[in-house]
Structure formats: C-alpha cells, structure tokens
Chain A
Amino acid sequence: MAEETHMPESIKPLRKRKSGHKKGNKAKKKQKQFQGIKERVKIDPKMKKFLRKKARDYNSDDEEEDESAHGIGDEKVSLHDNDKQDFGIEVEGPENEDEDDEIQPGITKFSEGCRAFRIAFMSIMKKSVSDDSLGPVLSGHEKLVAEKLAEEDAERKVKREAKKEKQLVGEKGHVKPANYLDSHEKFLIGVATKGVVKLFNAVNKAQNAQKGLDPSRTKDAKIIKKRRKEAYFSELGKTPASDSNAKVHKSSGPVDSEGPSWAPLRDNYMLTNSKLKDWDKMPDKVVADDFGKMSEDSDSDD
C-alpha cells in the first residue's frame, strides 16, 4: 500500500526531473534492469520489487522518499555486496554516469594534466632569466640572433660615425661668434669706423662747397664746377702726406703716389693720348678705376 501510494508521488518528481533531465537515460536504465531480470533468475520477486523501488527512489530527489528509503539503505548496501556487481553496477552505472556527466570527468582528467603543467610552469618560473635583450623565447637561437643584432649594431655605429664625420666636415670652419666683442673685433670695428668717418667728412667737405647753390642755374653751375675743382685739388694735394699715416689708405697709397690719382688731373692727360677723337669711347675703366680709388681716398682723407 505504502509503495503504491508512494509510487505516483515518486513518479511525479521523476517526471518533473525528466523535463530537465535526460529521458533516454531513464529508458535505458529500465531496459537494462529488465534485461538483468531476465538473465538473473535467482533474484526473488520481492527483492526485485524492492530494488526497483529503491532504484526509483534513488533517482528521485524527493527528500521524504530519501528519508523513507534511508531506513532500508543499509540493506541495500548489503544487497549490493551480496549481489556483487550484477545489479549494483547496473544500477550504479547510470548513477555514476549521471554524476560524471555533470562534473567529474573533466576535473579528474584535468587534475593530472594540471599537475604536469604546474610542474613545467614552476620550473620555467624558477629559471632566472638573464638580462639579455633577447627574451627567453628566443633562447633557442640565442647565439644566432645575438650575433645578428651585434652585427647590426656595429653597422649602425659605423654609419652613425660616418654621418657624424660628414657633418663635421661640412661644418668645418664654422665658428659661432662670441657674445662679447673681443679686442680683435673692437679693433676691426675701429678701423671700419675710421673709414666711414673719413668718407663722411670728405663728403661733408665736398658737398658743403656746393651748398646753397642751385645746379640748374648756369651761373651757379659754373661756381659749383669751380669750387669742386678747387676742393679736388686741395684734397689731392694733401693726399700723399696723409697717406703714410692713414691705415686705411695704405692700400691705395703706393699705387698712385706718383701723381694725382684721377687720370684727368694728370698733366699729360689727353695730351699724350693720340686718340682725342674717340675720347668718349675711352676706356671707361680708367674713370671707374679712379672713382674706385677716389672712394678709397675719400675714406682715408680728412
């Protein structure tokens, strides 16, 4: 009675579970059980019934059923022992399978591999890695790679040196001037200033003479011409004497010390020259040159 009443209850949860669980498994189980029953004739029906129930109970997660089943649990264990593997295994097989399917097989298998991996990993970690630029990964080709790298390095070094040298050659003679004026620079500025002052003074003298006169008027123009001429003569008369002192003038001093430096002022100008006809085609050079000297003279003369 109790069994029968229990049965539907036990089935219910089973069905519930079936929805979530493998159905095929159950069917297989039953089949196996029946096969087992067929084969085993020795087992009495009472026992068979009990076992079947027991198996069902075991499969169901109902706690009540579990408790009720517990009371007989000992017997079952003894039964298992008695029957040895024929039924126990048959029943337990799926049980184990169930559990294995859920968790066991992966872990158990992995645990062994895990250990090996752990050992290997630990051994790697224990290794002290040298401070090479090469990682431990490349350690297999350590020599080869190191050689190559060294070669590259040397090559780069040579290239760098060559470039530097080239740059140095390019910069040869280049000097950055100092922030202050040293004595030499001051001396040079002094010389240049002297030259400028001389020129300005000469210009002043020359242009003062024609001051206040309008060159467009013929009368004034004549006067200008005259004064200019006088100024020239006075300048040129002084030239040789002042030359010897003037540093700036030293350059042109000896060149034209024999006479008036400007060609037209020489006594024999145009007289000795037979090409009077072509005077306008005269070499411009003489004039240009003399003007060049003029500027030089004016630099040096007061």
Chain B
Amino acid sequence: MARFRSKRRKVSMKPAVKKNQGNIDHVTGDKIPKSFVFSRGKLPSLLKQLQMDLRKLMLPYTALNLREKKRNNLRDFLNVSGPMGVTHFLILSKTETAPYLRVARTPQGPTLTFKIHEYSLAQDVAQSQLRPRCPQDLFKNPPLIVLSGFGSGEQHLKLTTIMFQNIFPAIDINTVKLASCQRIVLLSYNKDTKLIDFRHYSIRLQPVGVSRRIRKFVQNHQVPDLRSLQDVSDFVTKAGYGSESEADDEAATVTLVSDLGRVNRASTKSAVKLQEIGPRMTLQLIKIEEGLCSGSVIFSEYGVVRDKKMQEENQKNQEEDEDNQGDDDGDDDIEENKEEDEEECV
C-alpha cells in the first residue's frame, strides 16, 4: 500500500502542463531526452557525492532532488519514468571490486554497464584548481557532448556513441544561442587500454588580442590600481604579465556571430578556454544488455565468462551453437531494437 501511494505522489508532483510540453523543445520540436540518476544498493558517501555530481551534470533535464528509498526497485523508477518522459537512467552501484555505472535507455533498454576504474568528484577537481569557476547559469543549459575515438567501427562502440549522443538534447546550429553553450562533456575512448575518459568542462570565451589588464577592467568594472604608472596610457600600452604568456592557440579561436556577454563582441576573435568542473571518471565498458538491466547479453568485455555460460548452455542445448557464432548478427539486432525502442518512445 505504502509503496503504491508514494509512487502516485511522485507522479502527481509533476505539473500536468509540463507532462505534455516538457518532452518537446520549443524551437526545434525535438524530443528532449530526460534522465534519472539514482543508485541501486547502498552507496558509500563518496559515491553518493558522485551521484549528485552526475545529476548536476545532467541538468537541466534531470531530477536533481530525486529521493530514492531502500524499497524502491527498478520497476518503481520505470513506472514513474513513463509519465514524466524520462528516457535515460544512470544507475550507480557498487560491488567489492569497483563501483559501476549503468546507462540505460528506458523503457526497454539497452543497458550499458561501465566499470568505474577511477573517479574524482567535482569537489576534488575544484579543490585542485587555483580558481574554480562556477558562473550562476552554468547548469541552466544542457552540455554539449564530444565523443572522441569511438569510430573504430566496433558495434558496441557504435552503440555507446548513439547512447551518449542521445542522452543530451540535440543542437540545431541554425537556432542555437552560443550563450547557452556553457558546458561540454567529453568522452574519449582509448583504443589501447579500452578505457573511456569521462570529463566535464565549462566553456569560457575570451577576446583575443587584448591585454589582460584591459580585459579584466572591462569584465570587472573596477577602478584599476594606477599608483605605479606614470601616465594613463601606460595602463593600456604596458604589457601584462603572468597569463599573458599563455599563447592564444590559433586552433582555439572562434569568430562569434553575436555578442556574448560584455567582453566578447560579435565578429571579433575569441579564444575558447575550457576549465574542468568535474566529475571525472575513467570508465570501462564491460557489458551491454538488451533489455533494461535484463535480457540477453549482447556484448561482454569478459568474453571468457560468457563463453563458459555459452558452453553450459550448449551442454544443455546443442542448438544454440548457431547463436554463438552469429555475434555480428546479434549486434545488428541491437541497433534495430534500439531504433524500435525509440520509435515506441515517441
């Protein structure tokens, strides 16, 4: 009884208007992916913080204050996700060997299971920086996503790519406002180690060719200290120090279409500066399941285990030999399944 009631309450908390509108972007008319970040099992405090960091990363289309209870099972979340238009689950769990992150498409999968080899919290990252940056509206817009190194043509990597591309709303380059591009999520696949580096940066634009002093002056609107100068012109002409040595990389400069803030004017060159905001994770894709945390295993990093299983199954049923050989066919099936899923979700 109690569980049933809580579920209902959760659903009813959501405004009805949003239920209808929330899924679709006003400008492009695209479906906006939404996500839940939650945990299965009891997490140590550090992983709880990681969960919170992930929620912040997934903002604004996620439930930041999602409360989960011990008795909540996956089905509860699934039941809520339907009416709320939640399309993705990020599930943190932990075993004795390592913490795990599962990224799942609702309601029917597939589910990617990542082993988290290393992770750093946003807090740790901020502590490691001299001047951590967090503008007010940093989390008001969804991040961009950059996937790098996933193009080796393997099926499971392709699936991962599609999964992560669709986890954030797509960008229409004709209508997008550059001011809304504040953050970027980077997933970089390393072929040799088979590890995925997960990083989260904030994007900052700086005008090129302006001395640091003047830039600061324009930005801060504070009266500069002119005590040591002979003339006002010195302030403008005198070369700065310190970060002036950071040569503006030619590759990192962009020309803006419209004004961006006070400093970056349209049709001037600006340098793109990235600063990490965390969390930081090193992931290893270990398993892909067809369903939502269930169903047949499409891909497994530890092939041996799978083979064993298969052998057992073979012993039971000789006919399954064919399935074993047809790995590629299976992967193709995933894609189809996925597409079907998405169609169903519409």
Which residues of A does B touch, CB under 8 Å?
A: 167, 169-179, 184-185, 188-189, 191-197, 199-204, 206-208, 210-211, 228, 247-255, 283-285, 287-289, 291-296, 298-299
Contact = CB atoms under 8 A, between A and B. Distances in A.
A245 B19 CA distance: 43
Contacts of A248: 146-148
Given A175-B118, A193-B252, A285-B345, A199 B148 contact: no
B151 interface: yes
Nearest to A247: B148
Q: Which 10 A-B pairs have the closest CB atoms?
A: A250-B151, A170-B44, A291-B170, A195-B146, A285-B342, A251-B150, A295-B171, A200-B254, A292-B165, A283-B343
9 contacts: A176-B124, A196-B144, A200-B256, A248-B148, A251-B150, A251-B151, A251-B157, A285-B342, A287-B30
Interface of B: 28, 30-31, 44-47, 94, 96-99, 116-121, 124-125, 127-129, 144-153, 157-158, 161-162, 165-166, 170-174, 176, 178, 181, 184, 186, 188, 197, 199, 201, 203, 249, 251-258, 272, 274, 276, 280, 339, 342-343, 345-346
B263 to A, nearest CB: 16
A193 B254 CA distance: 11
Nearest to A300: B146
Given A200-B254, A202-B173, A188 B188 contact: yes
A103 B198 CA distance: 96
Secondary structure call for the B interface = mixed
Contacts of B146: 191-192, 195-196, 248, 299
Contacts of A188: 186, 188, 197, 199
A151 B172 CA distance: 70
A189 B257 contact: no
Given A201-B254, A299-B146, A192 B186 contact: yes
A192 B199 contact: yes
Contacts of A284: 30-31, 342, 346
Contacts of B346: 283-285
Secondary structure call for the A interface = helix
A291 B171 contact: yes
Nearest to A232: B174
A255 B94 CA distance: 34
Contacts of A197: 251-254, 272
A170 B41 CA distance: 13
Given A177-B128, A192-B186, A211-B257, A250 B150 contact: yes
Given A197-B253, A201-B255, 18 more contacts: A170-B94, A173-B119, A174-B118, A176-B124, A191-B188, A192-B184, A195-B186, A197-B251, A200-B178, A200-B272, A201-B254, A207-B173, A248-B148, A254-B158, A255-B158, A288-B342, A294-B171, A299-B146
A170 B272 contact: no
A175 B52 CA distance: 17
A283 B257 CA distance: 33
B203 to A, nearest CB: 6
Contacts of A189: 199, 201, 274, 276
B20 to A, nearest CB: 15
B173 A199 contact: yes
A228 B125 CA distance: 41
Contact of B174 (A177, A228, A250): A228
B181 A199 contact: yes
Contacts of A289: 162, 165-166, 342
Nearest to B280: A177
B119 A199 contact: no
Contacts of B116: 173
B202 to A, nearest CB: 11
A211 B249 CA distance: 28
B257 A204 contact: yes
B181 A251 contact: no
A288 B118 contact: no
Nearest to B129: A179
Contact of B165 (A171, A193, A293): A293
Contacts of B150: 250-251
A141 B170 CA distance: 78
Contacts of A177: 120, 124-125, 128, 280
A207 B259 CA distance: 13
Contacts of B201: 189, 192
A171 B46 contact: yes
Which of A173, A188, A193, A254: most chain B Cβ within 10 A?
A173
Contacts of A201: 254-255
A296 B47 CA distance: 31
Contact of A175 (B119, B147, B272): B119
A251 B342 contact: no
